[in-house]
Structure formats: structure tokens, C-alpha cells
Amino acid sequence: MATSCCCLRLENVIFSSTSRKVKQTSANGSVLLSSPISSFSLLSPSSSLFYPILKTSHSLHSYLHVKASSSTAIAEPEGIKINSVPTKPIEGQKTGTSGLRKKVKVFTGENYLANWIQALFNSLPPEDYKNGVLVLGGDGRYFNREASQIIIKIAAGNGVGKILVGKEGIMSTPAVSAVIRKRKANGGFIMSASHNPGGPEYDWGIKFNYNSGQPAPESITDKIYGNTLSISEVKMADIPDVDLSSLGVTEHANFSVEVVDPVSDYLELMENVFDLELIKSLLSRSDFRFIFDAMHAVTGAYAKPIFVDKLGASPDSISNGVPLEDFGHGHPRS
């Protein structure tokens, strides 16, 4: 009997300084103390990724404009030095339910991202973030790694208790929502410009989801925009960059960052939504074949753990499964 071949193309499916020692707890619970850090750059490049990235020159110094002579240290009882960084309003930061999307060159301009993040905290009731938990992740596009460090430091500067960030800053849009609900977080940042192309010359975006995983309502996005028009300072914690390449917890006084597996909570949700054993039985049939095209986007981080490891699909059923900062010059979904 002839073997039939069914080829599926799936896109966006719901599968879809100072000298100090830093305390870090690894995923297995052991406590590690790093060597003393004699100095650090405010936005130093993060360590190498677990997937290939574009070898491009990142002009880090311009992302956040901080001068020792102009920033003011704020004494905080939590034990973290908070710098009050002077800034001024920047035009064009009108926010919609899909967040704020601009060219990378705009976001990497002086204080552009920092202003928007601070304006967001200025717009939220303190009980929605003070000593709370926020999630952070993105689609792996260019500038996400640097942006992650900026967001973490401003979150700490505004009194957030903990950040849950996907390994390497990776976490798909539906996965962020899943983690928010599973971990009972106060909300989460999603670094994505959806299907818009990525890379130094292309697009970047940021949006905020609330505690049920839904996009921030218009009442909040309107406040964010209003605060971008009157912002005068950014509250920035004086802490080193977080190593996003390894799972585990890094603690600074009463603030901590946990680097989490971006797939596990999402996969657990999928197990409750779909009959994965039934799907696995389909994929194991000799007369059924399929191709999943991850388009070098965030879905590539989920393809192997879900389709291959969980559902038993052949590894060669995954096409373009390595996330790239420019998505291989394609237009992927987030």
C-alpha cells in the first residue's frame, strides 16, 4: 500500500561599580558565589547564547544615558543603591494594546526604552508591582538581550521584588501569559515586534501584560503615554548585569532575578489543553509526515522540546529551528 505524505506548515500555533560577590542559586538548588566583581559596565554584553547570533557591533553606551555627575543616589532600606537618572520627554511614545513598536535605532537612542519603562511604573498602582513578581521574555530579536538588562535594573529601582526571565531572554508571547498565570505574577514584559523583521536596521517592540496574562488595558496605556510626556527621572538599580545563559536565581538584597526555562510552564499548560498522547500517536504513524517551520524565530526554542522530545517527532521535521536575532531575514510570528 502506498504511503501518503501530509505536509503541514505551522506558524504561530498555540504550541506557538562596585566590588561585591553575587549570590546565585543554580537550578539544582546549590548556592554559588561568583568571584568578586571589581567593576561592571551598566550595560555590558551578556554571555554567549545557546543559539547562534548575528555578530554585530552593539553600541551599548547610548541605550541609557548615565553620568556620575548628573545622577543622584537614592538611599534605599532594601540595601540596593538606586540612581535617579535625569531625563526628559521623548516624542513618539504613544502606546497601544500591542505596545510600542519602532525601529531598533529609535529604541537604542538615549533613554528611549528607559523612559517608557519608567513611565509604565509611574502609571501602575504601587500594589501592582511593589515587592511583586514580573515576567520578562521576548522573541529573540536583535536588542532583546541589552533591553532585558535595562528592564531588570529599572524594575529593581522601582521596588519590584522578583523578575522571572526566560533563558537568554527567550519566551514566546503566549508563554509569557502562561507563566504569569502559573506563577501568579503581577504582570510581564514582552519584547517583540510580532511579525515585523528583526535586526539592527529593522524593528523592535515592547508591551506589558497584566496579571491574568492579557495585554494592558487602554486605561493603562493612555497613562503610560501621558507619563512619557512629563517624565524627568529614571530610577535605576546599581546592580551588575544578570547572566541570562544559565538557569538559577541571582539575589541582590530583597530583589532577585530567576532565569527560567521558557518552555516548561507553557508545555504544562499545553498538556492540560490538548490530548498530547493522541497527537503523539499520530506523529508516530508510518503514513504521516509533517514539517514545522520555526522561521528562525522564538518558536524554534519550543519546537524540539515539544515536537521531538515530548511528541516523538523526528528531528528532521523541524525546519529553521535555530532562533536568530534577524530571523534569517524573514518575517516570523512571536
| Domains detected in the chain | 23-265 (3.40.120.10)
Residue 83 forms beta bridges with which residues? 73, 236
For the stretch 1-56, pLDDT in tens is: 444 444 344 433 333 333 344 445 555 554 443 333 333 233 333 333 333 333 33
CA dihedral over 139, 195, 155, 92, signed as positive or negative = positive
| CA proximity to 207, closest of 96, 132, 129 | 96
The catalytic residue among 71, 194, 317, 334 is 194
Q: At what angle do helices 218-228 and 112-123 cross, to 10 degrees?
A: 130
Q: What is the pLDDT of residues 266-289, one digit of tens each?
A: 999 999 999 999 999 999 999 999
Q: Which helix (H) or strand (E) holds 33?
A: strand 31-33
Q: Quick check: 30 and 200 in contact, CB under 8 A? A: no
Dihedral sign from CA coordinates of 190, 195, 196, 198:
positive
Report the alpha-carbon distance of residue 191 to residue 77 in Å, rounded. Answer: 31
Across the strands, what pairs with 130?
160
Report in angstroms the alpha-carbon separations of 250 from 29, 34, 95, 172: 12, 10, 32, 23
Burial 305-323 (b: 16+ CB within 10 A, else e): bbbbebbebeeebbebbbb
Give per-residue burial for 7-46: e unless 16+ CB within 10 Å, then b.
eeeeebeebbeeeeebebbeeeeeeeeeeeeeeeebbeeb
145-188 pLDDT, tens digit per residue, is: 999 999 999 999 999 999 999 999 999 999 999 999 999 999 99
Q: What digits encode the pLDDT tens for the residues 101-131?
A: 999 999 999 999 999 999 999 999 999 999 9
If pLDDT is split at 50, 70 and 90, which confidence band does 64 have?
Answer: low
Cell 522530545, located at residue: 309
Q: Counting Cβ atoms within 10 Å, is residue 179 exposed (0-12), middle (13-18) or buried (19+)?
A: buried
**Mean pLDDT, residues 209-215:** 94
Bridge partners of 26?
A: 248
Q: Residue 229's pLDDT is what?
A: 97
Task: Verify whether residue 194 is a known catalytic residue.
Answer: yes
